[in-house]
Chains A and B, each alone.
Chain A
Amino acid sequence: MRREFLKRIFGVTLITALAMGTVACGSTDGTNTAEQSTVNVSEESSQTISTQESENSEEASADITYPLQDAEKLTLWATTPGIASIYSDYTESPYHMGLQENTGVEVEWTFPALGANWKESYNLLLTEDTLPDIIAYSINVSAAQLLAQDGVIYDLTDYIPKYAPDYWEYLNAEGNEAVLKAAKSEDGRIYGVRTSVETELNPTYIGPVIRQDWLDELNLEVPVTLVDWENVLVAFKEKYNAKLGFVKGKWNMGIASGVNAQAGLSAEYYVDADGKIQFANAQPEWKESLEVLHKWYEMGLIDQDSFTMNDDALRTKVLNNEIGVSITAMSQLTNWCLDAEKQNPGAVWVGMEYPRVAAGVPTSRIQGGNRSGSFVAVITKECTEEKMITALKWLNYGYTEDGFMYQNFGTEGTNYTLDSDGKPHWTDLMKNDPDGLEQAIIKYTGTYSSALGGIQSTDMVLIKNHETAAEAVYKWAQNTDNSKYLLPSLAMTDEESLVITDVATPIKAYVGEMALKYVLGEASLDDFDAFVAELDKMGLQKCLDAYQAAYDRYLAR
C-alpha cells in the first residue's frame, strides 16, 4: 500500500525535490503534567488511568489500561519528519516500535516521500479511494468540520470523554480554556485529537541571533532598535564583510517589531486594540518595515541569497564568516554553535531580543503561536465504530503521564534519566548518536516537529538544543505583546471557508510577491497606496468580515 502511494506521488516529489522550502518547521506543541491526570501505576508496569468523574455524567468513564488487549491493527498517515532519511521503514524505527509495545496497538504508518511537500501530499491523499484509519496532519477545525460533513471522518465529540479520558481532562483543565475553544468547531464539535504544547515558550522557536565575538571586538552593544541594528550591520560589513542573512521561510515576523508592525514578508491578520481584525500588510507600519529592509538591501547589508537559499546553504555561509546577524530557528542555532566549536573556534553566536521601537517597549510581534497545535489526528470512516474506539484509545496515550514522557523523551533509562528535581536528561546513547542528537530525537521520540496526539514538553525543546539556543528562547520571548495581537485558532462556517479559498489565498500570494519586490526594489514603496487599493479590489474586506465574524463568535463562546 505504501509502495503504491509512493509511486503515485513520485512525480510530485521529483518536482518538489529541489523546490522544497515549504517543508518548513512543523508546529510544535504540548502541556499537561502529572497534576492533570490521575494515574495509578499498577505492579505490572502497565498503567491504569482513570478520569476525573464529572458528577452529571450518566456513565462511568472507562478505565484505559495500556497496553490495550486484542486491539485491531490500525493504519495511519502522518508527516513525522526525517524518518525516511534514517530508516527504510517504520518497523526499523525504535520510536514507532516502542509505541506499539507500550500501547499494544499495531499501527502501520505511511509518510509523505522524503522531500515531498506535505500539503500537496495531504491534498493528494484525500483523493485516494481508500484512506488510512487515522490521518495526522495540520487540519484546521473548519476543514475537519467539512470532512465530517462529507462523511469522511468521525465526529468524536461523544466518544472523547469516554475513550480518550486523558485528552478530555486536559482540554477541560484550568488554564486550557483557549485550547478547548481551539479544539471545537463552529458547531461546538470535536473532530480529532489535537497536539498542543506545554507552555507558550514552545512556539517561539525562531528569533534573532548575532555574532557576540564581533560585537565585543568592535566594542558595540547588542542592538535594540532598528537604528542600532543598522549601525551594527554597517560595522560588520566594513570590518568583516559579513551581512544579515536568513532563509526566507524562517524570516517569519522578522524585524517587524522594530517599527511596531504586525507582519514579516507574508500576509498576516491580527486583532487590534479595539478587538477588530486587521490586515497587517495594509498598515503604514508594515510599509515602514519594508522601507527599512529595502534600504538595507540597497546598502548591501542583506545577503542576496537569503531569498533563495535553504538552511544548509546558510549554514555554510555562517561557517565561512559571511553572516553576522540572522533570524533563525533554535535547531539551526544549535548547528551553528556546534560547527563553530568544531571548525571555527572564536565564533560565538548568541540569541538576542527582537528589535524594539525603544528599549523597554514591548515588541509588537514575534514568532509565536497559541498553545494548541495545528496538528490533529482525525479518524476516518474506513474504521468500524469498534476500530474507531481503539484508535481513539490509542491516540489518548500521548495525553497520559506515561505517554507524555514516552512521546517527548523516549524510554526512561534508555533515552533519558530523571535527576533529583525530576528534570529529564538525555542518556549517552542519545548524546553520542552517530547522526547527532537531533536525529536521535527523531529516532526515539514522537513530539518533535509534527507528531500526533500529545503535548510537546518545553523541557524537551530546551534540552534538545544547544544551551545557547535554550537561552536565546527566553530572550526572544521577553517583554512582548505578541499574544495580544495574535489571532486565536478560529472556527469558520462553510461560507467563510470559501471566502478564504477564493479571496484570502490569492491575496496571500499577491502580498508575498509584492513584499519581495518592495525589498528588492522591483516595485517602489511610493506606490504603496496602489498596492492597498489592489488588495481592496481583490476583496480584502470580505476576508476581514469573515475573520471578524469568526472572531466575534469565538469571543462569545
Chain B
Amino acid sequence: MLSKGKLKKDFHKNKYKYIMVIPVLIYLFLFCYKPMYGVIIAFQRYRPTLGIARSPWVGLDNFVRFFKDVNFWRVVRNTFTISFLSILFTFPAPILLALLLNEVRVSWFKRLVQTVTYLPHFIAMVVVCGLVNRFCQSDGLINDLIAFFGGERSNLLIKTNMFYPIYILSDIWKEVGWNSIIYLATLASIDQEQYEAARIDGAGRIQQMWYITLPGLLPTISMLLILRLGNILGVGQEKILLLYNEMTYEVADVISTFVYRKGLSDADYSYSTAIGLFDSIINIVFLVGANKISKKLGQSGLF
C-alpha cells in the first residue's frame, strides 16, 4: 500500500492520468455500484407500485423458495454443464484455427479464411439464432442433408440431446475467427529465426508447431483461460433464450434464463432478484478460487 505522503506525490506527478480515470470511476459507480442497492428487494415481497420503501420485508423467504423450487437443481446443473462444455470445446477452437492458419503459406488464401471466419461475429445474435432455428426445423437445411444421406427428418430443436451440440457448434461458428485474432497476433511476434534454426536441425512442420508455435502461445492461452474460469457461470443467456423452448428446458434452462422468466414474465421481482444474488455469490466464489489456484501455479493473479 502507498502511504499518504507517497499518494499525494504520485497524484501530483500523474495528475492528468488521475483526471482521465474519473469518467471510468463515475461509470462504474453509476452502473455497477448504484444499482446494487436494489438487491434489497431480494429480502422483500416487492411490489413496483409500493416501491422499495413501502414493500413488506420477508427475510430469507425468497431464497428458501428457490432452494425448494422443483427447478433448482436443474438450473444449477445446466449452468455448470453449459459453461463446462464451452470451456472444453469453444475455448480451444480458436487456438486450433490460429495454429492451422499459421501453417498456410498462400497469403491470399490465409486472408480469405480469416475474413470468412470472423465475419459471423458481426451478425447480431437474434439473426444467428433465427438462422439456426430455420436450419433445425424438420424441413430445414440440416434435415435436408440428413435426408439426402438417408436419415430420418426430425425437428432438432425439440430434442434434448441436440441442444448442446447446436449451442456449442453455432457458438464456435460465430466466434472462432474473432477469437483467433489475439492468437494470430501473438504468433506474429514469435521470432522467425527460431523456425529457421529448427528447420536446420531437421524439425518437420508438426515438430515446429509443437516445439515453437505452441510454447509461444502458452502465456496468452493461460491468461485467457484464467479470465474465462473467473466467469464460469457466465453462459450465453441471450442465445439460450433464443434457442430453447419448453421441450428443452430440461437441459437448457440456466440460472440467468430462469431469473429472466421469473422477473420479466411472471413479474416475481423479489424472487428473481434473490436468484440473481445467489448466482453472483457462486460467481464470486469461483473468481476467488480461480485466482488462488492461478497464484499457486505460479501465474500472476487478478488481485
Contacts and interface: CB of A to CB of B under 8 A. Distances in A.
A303 B138 contact: yes
A150 B138 contact: no
A126 B65 CA distance: 25
Given A18-B242, A150-B50, A305 B139 contact: yes
Nearest to A248: B246
Interface string A151-175: 1100000000000000000000000
Give me the 10 closest cross-chain CB pairs, A-B, nearest first.
Answer: A150-B49, A304-B155, A123-B267, A127-B48, A120-B264, A152-B49, A126-B48, A304-B138, A516-B247, A305-B137
Interface of B: 47-50, 65, 69-71, 126, 129-130, 133, 137-139, 153-155, 157-158, 160, 238, 241-242, 245-247, 249-250, 260, 264-268
A517 interface: yes
A516 B242 contact: no
Nearest to B152: A300
Contacts of B138: 303-305
Contacts of B268: 501, 505
Binding site secondary structure of chain B:
loop
Given A15-B242, A304-B153, A308-B133, 16 more contacts: A15-B241, A18-B130, A22-B265, A124-B264, A126-B48, A150-B47, A152-B49, A304-B158, A305-B138, A308-B157, A309-B137, A505-B266, A506-B70, A512-B246, A516-B158, A522-B250
Interface residues of A toward B: which range? 35 or more
B264 A19 contact: no
A510 B130 contact: no
B264 A520 contact: no
Contacts of A313: 137
A121 B266 CA distance: 12
Nearest to A523: B250
A14 interface: yes
B158 A308 contact: yes
Contacts of A147: 49
Contact of B155 (A19, A146, A305): A305
Interface string A7-21: 000001011011100
Nearest to A131: B49
A117 interface: yes
Nearest to B50: A150
A517 B247 contact: yes
A18 B247 contact: no
B163 to A, nearest CB: 12
B18 to A, nearest CB: 33
B248 to A, nearest CB: 10
Interface of A: 12, 14-15, 17-19, 22, 117, 119-120, 123-124, 126-127, 146-147, 150-152, 303-305, 307-309, 313, 317, 322, 501-502, 505-506, 510, 512-513, 516-517, 520, 522, 534, 538
A17 B264 contact: no
Contacts of A119: 265, 267
Given A305-B137, A506-B69, A538-B70, A19 B47 contact: no
A17 B126 contact: yes
A501 B153 CA distance: 40
Contacts of B154: 304
Contacts of A305: 137-139, 155
B242 A19 contact: yes
B265 A120 contact: yes
Nearest to B253: A513
Nearest to A119: B265
B242 to A, nearest CB: 6
A310 to B, nearest CB: 10
Given A12-B264, A152-B49, A19 B137 contact: no
Contacts of A17: 126
A307 B155 contact: yes
A150 B50 CA distance: 6
Nearest to A21: B245
14 contacts: A15-B241, A15-B242, A15-B260, A18-B242, A19-B241, A119-B267, A123-B265, A146-B47, A150-B47, A308-B157, A308-B158, A501-B266, A502-B65, A513-B250
Contacts of B50: 150
A538 B69 CA distance: 9
B266 A308 contact: no
B225 to A, nearest CB: 29
A510 B139 CA distance: 29
A420 B250 CA distance: 60
A14 B250 CA distance: 24
A405 B153 CA distance: 51
B265 A520 contact: no
Contacts of B70: 506, 510, 534, 538
Contacts of B49: 126, 146-147, 150-152
B245 A307 contact: yes
Contacts of A309: 137
